[in-house]
């Protein structure tokens, strides 16, 4: 079957969309795409149950682009995502697939960025809006009619949205868009809270379920390091000093970042090259061949540029920039640990990306351990070890082959063999610092942080009345409810909506069954129904919020 009659073309998509998809390197639709695209094109509501790594973004992006009326300058499709990173990833995917559809405009709406430009982009005719629920509700408070023309709604990773406490925001959004819309919901799991949303807001939905593959390879050693954004390149250079790698791929988000990091690596003597979307195919093939045969040791790449890259000698993956979603993370680290070999994957995390780290851990079901940057002593030890290893093969017959020359040079220079050896070492190491004081001066400490340290600073700055808050008496209980306690509080980055979302998602309760939630600095109190409490607590025993166990217990107020 040829590409013209099979593959994506067989799904009755616009030829311009098919051409854009093929240009990205995809040739055949995945299982979720094969099943979902015809359903969405036919106008049905749909529930898609699929894990990360199945290609679900294209499963809804392609048919929605096919339905967009480019002549209408108004919001037509709304895609909701749980995190800023995923919203940006989805928006980028839409832009990629719409490259050959002039007039299609996409806007990403998320917190941490100015609201004015986002709202103007929506009002100025962006047909596709990709948003996080919290920030979108902020816009609705400014302009409740801003979504009145939406015809297509997608909830991407709906279970994650509920775990992050967006239930109330979703209800606000449902009310703000036309009831006649087509609604598509994707979720890795279908707990009762998701089914409840589907029953209330979807019309006779079709169901698609795809079995997921194993998320990560057990042979891959995963770790993360907390760094500030402006310290990423120094952090990478520090790590490379101590990591024993054969070949390495470093992932970044932008083309410019590939060039910046590759240049910094080359300046330090590494055999490195950039790989991005601007590089011609023949040059890309040369880079990959060089990585395979050892002429290159490090490739700095974007996700799209690295697609299809399979080099068995890759022992390390550095996620210099946080991936947009867990799916990308799984694909990235899968570049190592192949052919039965062990692999190592390191992830650099900035302060605003902690939540995405928690999502990755939850979706992959694996803890990404925290590591620290090596200190000056570790760097010095690694340098001396490398030098020792490089000299070891030369020592065996050196005296026999060069002993006479040594005598001649020491006599001519009037120096001792030790002085001559030291001079030759200085020349061989190209002036590299090989004593502790010099290494410390050469590589000043890269500022890092830990979530706990950062939380303590925030607490001191914003919560001076902690003692009063901790001692404050709980509010009176409503009839039929009991108060439960968790050791998670504000210092853990917990908000009431996080606790609400977790209990709704995992406990299967209706929203009105949960009473007041009081978040203190070092603990939280939650009102729950007394009837069936033990059964509920049993269901919640393994629940995690913000990466930590909920450990909910009945609160004895005496």
Question: Which pLDDT score is estimated for 78?
Answer: 97
Q: Tell me, yes or no, whether 44 and 174 share the same domain.
A: yes
Look at phi and psi of residue 153 and say left if phi exceeds 0, alpha if psi is from -120 to 50, else beta.
beta
Q: Is residue 450 part of a domain?
A: no
Q: How many domains does the chain have?
A: 4
Give the domain-ending residue among 421, 442, 463: 442
Q: Is residue 215 part of a domain?
A: no
Nearest partner of 30 among 9, 7, 61, judged by Cα: 7
Give the CATH number of the domain where residue 258 resides. 3.40.50.300
Q: Tell me, yes or no, whether 369 and 384 share the same domain.
A: no
Q: Tell me, yes or no, whether 368 and 405 share the same domain.
A: no
Q: Tell me, yes or no, whether 104 and 242 share the same domain.
A: no
Question: Which pLDDT score is estimated for 43?
Answer: 95
Q: Is residue 282 part of a domain?
A: yes
Q: Supply φ then ψ for residue 242, to 5 degrees.
A: -110, -20
Q: Tell me, yes or no, whether 52 and 180 share the same domain.
A: yes
CB 344 within 8 A of CB 239: no
Secondary structure of 36-74 as H, E, C letters: HHHHHHCCCCEEEECCCCCCHHHHHHHHHHHHCCCCCCC
CA distance 131 to 127: 13
Give the CATH number of the domain where residue 468 resides. 3.30.70.330
Q: Is residue 28 part of a domain?
A: yes
CB 251 within 8 A of CB 299: no
- Looking from the CA of 70 toward its CB, the CA atoms found within 13 Å total 10
Q: Supply φ then ψ for residue 232, to 5 degrees.
A: -65, -45
CA distance 220 to 332: 12
Q: Tell me, yes or no, whether 55 and 158 share the same domain.
A: yes
Give the domain-ending residue among 373, 392, 417: 373
Nearest partner of 227 among 446, 454, 443, judged by Cα: 446
Q: Which domain holds residue 360?
A: 220-373
Q: Tell me, yes or no, whether 173 and 84 share the same domain.
A: yes
Nearest partner of 510 among 199, 202, 207, 164, judged by Cα: 199
Q: Tell me, yes or no, whether 333 and 200 share the same domain.
A: no
Q: Tell me, yes or no, whether 465 and 543 share the same domain.
A: yes
Give the domain-ending residue among 373, 400, 428: 373
CA distance 260 to 263: 5
pLDDT per residue of the chain (558 residues) written in tens, 0 to 9: 333 445 888 898 999 999 998 887 777 888 889 999 999 999 999 999 876 556 788 999 999 999 999 999 999 999 999 887 788 889 989 999 999 999 999 999 988 788 888 988 898 889 999 999 989 998 998 888 889 999 999 999 888 788 778 888 999 999 999 999 999 999 877 888 888 888 999 999 999 988 655 455 566 899 999 998 888 998 999 899 889 899 999 999 888 889 999 999 998 889 999 998 778 778 888 998 899 999 999 999 988 777 667 788 899 999 999 887 777 788 888 888 765 667 899 999 988 888 889 888 887 778 899 998 888 888 788 788 887 877 777 777 777 778 788 888 888 989 998 888 888 888 877 767 777 777 776 654 454 555 444 443 333 333 333 343 344 455 667 778 889 999 888 877 788 888 888 888 778 777 778 888 888 878 899 999 888 888 888 888 878 887 678 889 888 765
Please report where in the chains the tokens 């799991």 appear, as a residue.
189
Q: Is residue 183 part of a domain?
A: yes
Nearest partner of 177 among 228, 213, 131, 223, judged by Cα: 131
Q: Tell me, yes or no, whether 72 and 108 share the same domain.
A: yes
CA distance 439 to 29: 52
Q: Tell me, yes or no, whether 170 and 231 share the same domain.
A: no
Q: Two tokens at 113?
A: 């960025």
Question: Which pLDDT score is estimated for 399?
Answer: 74
CA distance 492 to 490: 5
Q: Tell me, yes or no, whether 239 and 365 share the same domain.
A: yes
Instruction: Using DSSP bridges, classify how beta strands 524-529 and 481-486 pair: parallel, antiparallel or unpaired.
Output: antiparallel
């Amino acid at each position: 079957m040829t590409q013209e009659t099979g593959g994506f073309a067989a799904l009755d998509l616009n030829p311009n969309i098919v051409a854009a998809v093929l240009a990205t390197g995809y040739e055949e639709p995945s299982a979720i795409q094969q099943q979902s695209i015809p359903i969405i094109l036919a106008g049905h509501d749909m529930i898609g149950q699929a894990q990360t790594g199945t290609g679900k973004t294209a499963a809804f992006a392609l048919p929605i682009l096919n339905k967009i009326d480019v002549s209408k300058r108004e919001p037509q499709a709304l895609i909701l995502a749980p995190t800023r990173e995923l919203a940006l990833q989805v928006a980028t995917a839409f832009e990629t697939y719409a490259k050959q559809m002039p007039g299609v405009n996409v806007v990403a709406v998320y917190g941490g960025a100015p609201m004015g430009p986002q709202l103007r982009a929506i009002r100025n005719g962006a047909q596709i809006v990709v948003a996080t629920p919290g920030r979108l509700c902020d816009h609705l408070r400014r302009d409740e009619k801003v979504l009145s023309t939406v015809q297509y709604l997608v909830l991407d990773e709906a279970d994650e949205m509920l775990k992050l406490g967006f239930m109330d925001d979703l209800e606000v959004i449902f009310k703000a868009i036309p009831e006649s819309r087509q609604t598509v919901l994707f979720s890795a799991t279908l707990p009762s809270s998701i089914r409840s949303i589907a029953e209330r807001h979807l019309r006779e939905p079709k169901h698609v379920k795809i079995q997921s593959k194993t998320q990560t390879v057990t042979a891959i050693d995963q770790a993360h390091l907390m760094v500030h954004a402006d310290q990423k390149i120094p952090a990478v250079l520090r790590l490379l000093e101590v990591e024993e790698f054969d070949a390495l791929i470093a992932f970044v988000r932008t083309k410019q970042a590939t060039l910046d990091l590759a240049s910094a690596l080359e300046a330090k003597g590494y055999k490195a090259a950039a790989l991005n979307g601007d590089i011609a195919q023949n040059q890309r093939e040369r880079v990959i061949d060089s990585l395979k045969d050892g002429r290159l040791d490090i490739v700095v790449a974007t996700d799209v540029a690295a697609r299809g890259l399979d080099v068995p000698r890759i022992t390390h993956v550095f996620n210099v920039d946080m991936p947009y979603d867990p799916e990308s993370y799984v694909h990235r680290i899968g570049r190592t640990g192949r052919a039965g070999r062990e692999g190592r994957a390191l992830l650099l995390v900035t302060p605003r990306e902690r939540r995405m780290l928690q999502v990755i851990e939850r979706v992959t079901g694996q803890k990404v351990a925290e590591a620290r940057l090596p200190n000056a002593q570790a760097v010095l030890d690694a340098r001396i070890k490398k030098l020792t290893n490089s000299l070891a093969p030369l020592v065996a017959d050196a005296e026999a082959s060069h002993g006479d020359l040594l005598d001649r040079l020491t006599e001519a220079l009037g120096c001792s063999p030790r002085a001559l050896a030291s001079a030759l070492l200085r020349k061989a190491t190209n002036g590299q610092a090989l004593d502790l004081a010099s290494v410390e001066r050469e590589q000043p400490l890269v500022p890092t942080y830990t979530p706990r340290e950062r939380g303590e600073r925030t607490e001191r700055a914003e919560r001076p009345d902690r003692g009063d808050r901790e001692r404050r008496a709980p509010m009176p209980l409503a009839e039929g409810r009991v108060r439960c306690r968790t050791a998670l509080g504000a210092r853990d980055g917990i908000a009431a909506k996080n606790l609400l979302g977790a209990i709704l998602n995992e406990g299967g309760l209706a929203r009105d069954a949960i009473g007041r939630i009081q978040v203190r600095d070092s603990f939280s109190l939650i009102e729950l129904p007394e009837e069936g409490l033990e059964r509920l607590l049993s269901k919640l025993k393994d629940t995690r919020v913000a990466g930590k166990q909920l450990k909910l217990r009945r609160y004895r107020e005496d």
